[in-house]
C-alpha cells in the first residue's frame, strides 16, 4: 500500500473521523499513560522536533519551552494545538527531507493505513543523526487489561478478535514485529522500554474506573504503577512498548 492507495485512504479517513470526535474535548494535562510515555521521551527531545499524530497538541503544551511542529490529520485536534502546526498523515508529512532531529510518534503507527510507508516517511524527514521516539500497543496484553477485555466482551483478547475488544486500533504489535519493521525502513532500535505492565494496567483498567464510580471523577493513578512494573519487567507481560530508534547507518 502507498499513502495514495484506496485502502490506505479508507483507513486514514476512518481514523480521522474517530479522532475528530475524541479531540473535541481537549486534555488540560497529561493523563496517566501520557506521563509514563513522557518519562521515556523527555531526555531524548532535541530540536527541531516533529510530532506525528499530535492529536490535541499535548506534547507541545507539556514541553512548552521546546519548539515542536505538531502534525495531525484531525483539524479538530489541531485547533487546540499551539503553533507551529500542520495538517498531514504519517504516510505523507508536510516537512522537507532531513529537517527533524527528533520525531515523536506516540500511539500513532497502529492507526495508520500503511505502517511501512509511515516509518519510511519519518526516515525521510529525519536528519542523519535523527531520533525516532515511537510507542505502540502490543500483544499479548498485560493480565489486568486481558481481564478487563474479557469482562467487556466475554472473550479473551487476541489478534483475531481485535475489532471486538480494541476497535479503535487497526492493529497491535508483537515487539519483534515492530523492531523488524523499524530495521526494514531505515531505523536502528537503540532502546526498547516495555510499558504498562501488571501494576500499571491494574490501576488503569480497575483502579481509575473505580475512582470515577466512587467520586464522580477519575483520579490519576496508573502512572504510579510504572516504577513498580520496572522491578519485574523481565517476567511481566506488558500492553505497550516504547522504542528509541536512530537513523540506520545503512539506508534500505
Domain spans, the chain: 6-139+168-196+237-247
What pLDDT does residue 28 have? 66
Give the span between the Cα atoms of 213 and 217, in whole angstroms: 7
Long-range contacts of 211-214 (CB under 8 A, 24+ apart): none
Mean pLDDT for each consecutive 10-residue tract of the chain (252 residues)? 68 77 66 93 98 94 96 91 95 97 97 95 97 97 97 96 94 97 97 97 94 91 93 92 89 50
Residue-by-residue DSSP string for 79-125: TTSPSSEEE-BTTB-SS-TT-EEEEEEES-GGG-S-HHHHHHHHHHH
Contacts of 5 (CB under 8 A, 6+ apart): 113, 114
Prediction pTM value:
0.91
List the one residue out of 167, 163, 230 whose CA is nearest residue 196. Answer: 230
Superfamily of domain 6-139+168-196+237-247: Vaccinia Virus protein VP39 (3.40.50.150)
Phi then psi dihedrals of residue 217, to 5 deg: -155, 160
Give the span between the Cα atoms of 22 and 8, in whole angstroms: 21
What pLDDT does residue 251 have? 52
> In a 3-state reduction of DSSP, which class is residue 220?
coil
187-195/240-247 β-pairing: antiparallel
Mean pLDDT of the residues in the chain = 92
Amino acid at each position: 500500500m502507498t499513502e495514495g492507495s484506496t485502502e490506505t485512504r479508507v483507513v486514514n479517513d476512518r481514523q480521522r473521523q474517530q479522532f475528530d470526535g475524541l479531540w473535541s474535548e481537549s486534555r488540560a494535562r497529561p493523563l496517566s499513560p501520557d506521563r509514563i510515555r513522557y518519562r521515556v521521551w523527555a531526555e531524548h527531545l532535541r530540536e527541531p522536533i516533529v510530532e506525528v499524530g499530535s492529536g490535541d497538541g499535548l506534547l507541545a503544551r507539556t514541553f512548552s519551552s521546546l519548539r515542536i511542529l505538531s502534525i495531525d490529520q484531525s483539524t479538530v485536534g489541531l485547533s487546540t494545538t499551539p503553533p507551529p502546526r500542520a495538517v498531514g498523515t504519517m504516510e505523507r508529512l508536510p516537512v522537507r527531507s532531513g529537517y527533524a532531529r527528533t520525531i515523536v510518534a506516540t500511539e500513532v503507527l497502529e492507526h495508520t493505513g500503511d505502517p511501512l510507508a509511515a516509518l519510511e516517511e519519518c526516515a525521510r524527514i529525519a536528519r542523519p543523526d535523527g531520533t525516532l521516539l515511537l510507542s505502540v500497543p502490543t500483544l499479548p496484553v498485560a493480565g489486568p487489561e486481558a481481564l478487563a477485555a474479557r469482562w467487556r466482551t466475554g472473550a479473551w483478547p487476541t489478534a483475531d478478535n481485535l475489532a471486538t475488544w480494541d476497535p479503535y486500533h487497526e492493529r497491535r504489535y508483537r515487539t519483534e514485529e515492530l523492531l523488524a519493521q523499524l530495521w526494514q525502513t531505515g531505523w536502528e532500535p537503540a532502546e526498547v522500554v516495555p510499558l504498562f505492565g501488571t501494576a500499571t494496567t491494574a490501576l488503569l483498567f480497575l483502579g481509575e474506573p473505580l475512582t470515577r464510580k466512587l467520586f464522580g471523577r477519575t483520579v490519576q493513578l496508573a502512572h504510579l504503577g510504572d516504577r513498580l512494573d520496572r522491578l519485574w519487567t523481565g517476567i511481566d507481560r506488558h500492553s505497550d512498548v516504547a522504542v528509541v530508534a536512530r537513523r540506520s547507518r545503512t539506508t534500505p
